[in-house]
């Protein structure tokens, strides 16, 4: 259908109004130069180049991710990021150019200019609460009864009268949690606030303003010669609600050194311990997700603005900004920040019945095609 002169003027004015009154926000892109290396096997330069490019892309993602997390999350980020880069591969790479290449001792090294869209990376970081500073993470208190080999009396730091400190096992546990970025209470700093023998573990946890209490026992029982059976039973408790978040029981027989056995026990339960901690962090923080929306077939500004207003009023869309305008196809594309899912936001828009339209959500993007 060809537009007459008046229709062309009307269409031009619609998109002019949109361009003037809706702020333009480019997609979250980062540009940087990184190096990558690939091993040359059987003179296969093509394969080495692909390895070098993937290495360069992974380094680009790491450099950008390091800008988005506090220092307390860096160790956790470095541990988890390889799984992210392996799953995304080069999906986030908007553009790249090999600037230089060199070969030495069977290794190909590339210098690469990379432009990367970090929307997915930001979403991944927020979903794992890696962007949350240590000071905002739940405070964790350890109260684990510890009976080490050769001892007849179990150690409980909260039962001591002076020089309160974690047991060797609790100290190892606290050290590992701290290494992973968790906020563990240092009992040497709060010893005077605990009255030995007069308080329950939960009341002590509340008095120390802990959010999560990890309690239980680790015992070493002699089996034969230098072989001991170690049994670790524990529970993670939400101090505020007094509900159990997770629990575990593991047992091993070994003649390994106590410090080594303690480490093995911690490694075995660390995921069970940290999972509810991460869930608590995520529930505390407002998760912002960035998604794209394109509205096509716009014939009047009033309908377009009604759709934008409806999305903003839904409660799950915190902001919408224009990223591109195409007068030829009568379409406007946007970047949206959501606190819910994209599908739910589009379902809410459909229920408003502002105009007859096809609403499609695919590959993390939404499309609204207004039907004349």
Tell whether 74 is covered by a domain: yes
Phi-psi region of 163 (alpha: psi -120 to 50; beta: other; left: phi over 0): left
Phi-psi region of 71 (alpha: psi -120 to 50; beta: other; left: phi over 0): alpha
Backbone angles phi, psi at 186, to 5 degrees: -90, 105
At 167, list the tokens. Answer: 């047991």
pLDDT in tens, 221-234: 998 888 999 999 99
Q: How confident is the model over 119-126, as a mean pLDDT?
A: 84
Q: How many domains does the chain have?
A: 3
- Same domain for 22 and 34, yes or no, is no
Q: 157 versus 281: which is more confidently predicted?
A: 157
Q: Does 15 have pLDDT greater than 90? A: no
Instruction: Confirm whether 122 is domain-assigned.
Output: no
**pLDDT on residue 3:** 47
Looking at the structure, do residues 102 and 214 belong to the same domain, yes or no? Answer: no
Q: Are residues 105 and 223 in the same domain?
A: no
Same domain, 238 and 250: yes
Q: What is the mean pLDDT of the chain?
A: 84
pLDDT value for 197: 65
Q: What is the pLDDT of residue 131?
A: 76
Residues 149 and 262 in one domain: yes
Q: Please state, for a pLDDT cut of 70, what percent of the chain lies above it.
A: 86
276 or 335, which is more confident: 335
Closest CA to 183 of 225, 141, 150, 229: 141
Q: Is the pLDDT of residue 2 over 60?
A: no
Residues with Cβ < 8 Å from 183, sequence gap 6 or more? 134, 135, 137, 138, 139, 140
Same domain assignment for residues 251 and 292: no
- Which CATH number belongs to the domain containing residue 91 in this structure? 3.30.1660.40
Q: Residue 290's pLDDT band (boundaries 50, 70, 90)? A: confident
pLDDT of residue 286: 52
> Whole domain around residue 67: which residue ranges?
29-117
pLDDT of residue 61 exceeding 50, the answer is yes
Residue 126 lies in a domain: no
Please determine, for residue 21, whether its predicted confidence score (pLDDT) is greater than 60. Answer: no
Whether 155 and 280 map to the same domain: the answer is yes
Is 58 a domain residue?
yes
pLDDT at 22 over 80: no
The reply to whether 123 falls in a domain is no
Please check whether residues 322 and 265 belong to one and the same domain: no
User: Same structural domain for residues 157 and 253?
Assistant: yes
- For residue 16, pLDDT over 60 is answered with no
Q: How distant is the alpha carbon of residue 176 from its chain centre?
A: 19
The pLDDT of 76-90, averaged and rounded, is 87
- Cβ–Cβ under 8 Å, residues 247 and 235: yes
**Calpha distance 178→263 (Å, rounded):** 14
- 18 & 73 share domain: no
User: Residues 109, 158: one domain?
Assistant: no
Residue 129 within a domain: no
Name the domain boundary from 89, 117, 145.
117
124 occurs within a structural domain: no
Quote the pLDDT of residue 26: 40
Q: Could you report the per-residue pLDDT of 241-289, keeping only the tens digit for each?
A: 999 999 999 999 999 999 999 999 999 999 888 888 877 766 655 556 7
Least confident residue range of 151-155, 288-292, 347-351: 288-292
Report if residue 212 sits inside a domain: yes
CA 141/CA 173 separation, integer angstroms:
11
Q: Which of 22-36, 42-56, 74-88 has the lowest mean pLDDT?
A: 22-36
Co-location of 106 and 187 in the same domain: no
Q: Check residues 56 and 190 and name the one with the higher pLDDT.
A: 56
Domain CATH code at residue 191? 3.40.50.10070
């Amino acid at each position: 259908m060809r537009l007459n002169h008046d229709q062309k003027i009307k269409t031009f004015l619609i998109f002019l109004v949109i361009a003037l009154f809706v702020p333009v926000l480019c997609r979250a892109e980062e540009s940087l130069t990184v190096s990558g290396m690939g091993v040359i096997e059987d003179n296969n330069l093509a394969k080495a180049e692909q390895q070098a490019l993937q290495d360069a892309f992974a380094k680009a993602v790491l450099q950008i991710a390091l800008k988005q997390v506090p220092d307390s999350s860096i160790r956790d980020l470095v541990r988890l990021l390889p799984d992210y880069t392996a799953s995304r591969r080069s999906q986030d790479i908007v553009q790249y150019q090999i600037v230089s290449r060199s070969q030495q001792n069977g290794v190909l090294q590339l210098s690469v200019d990379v432009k990367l869209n970090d929307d997915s990376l930001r979403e991944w970081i927020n979903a794992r609460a890696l962007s949350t500073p240590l000071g905002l993470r739940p405070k964790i208190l350890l109260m684990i009864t510890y009976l080490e080999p050769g001892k007849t009396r179990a150690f409980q730091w909260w039962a001591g009268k002076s020089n309160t400190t974690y047991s060797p096992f609790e100290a190892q546990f606290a050290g590992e949690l701290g290494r992973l970025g968790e906020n563990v209470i240092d009992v040497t700093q709060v010893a005077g606030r605990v009255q030995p023998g007069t308080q329950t573990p939960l009341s002590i946890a509340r008095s120390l303003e802990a959010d999560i209490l990890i309690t239980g026992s680790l015992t070493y029982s002699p089996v034969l010669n230098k072989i001991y059976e170690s049994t670790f039973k524990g529970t993670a408790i939400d101090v505020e609600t007094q509900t159990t978040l997770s629990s575990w029981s593991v047992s091993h027989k070994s003649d390994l050194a106590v410090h080594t056995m303690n480490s093995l026990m911690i490694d075995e339960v660390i995921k069970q311990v940290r999972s509810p901690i991460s869930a608590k962090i995520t529930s505390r923080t407002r998760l912002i997700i960035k998604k794209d929306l394109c509205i096509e077939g716009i014939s009047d500004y009033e309908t377009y603005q009604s759709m934008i207003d409806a999305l903003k009023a839904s409660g799950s869309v915190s902001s919408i900004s224009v990223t591109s305008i195409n007068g030829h196809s009568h379409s406007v594309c946007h970047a949206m920040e959501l606190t819910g899912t994209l599908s739910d936001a589009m379902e809410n828009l459909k229920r408003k019945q502002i105009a007859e339209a096809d609403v499609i959500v695919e590959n993390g993007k939404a499309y609204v095609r207004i039907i004349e």
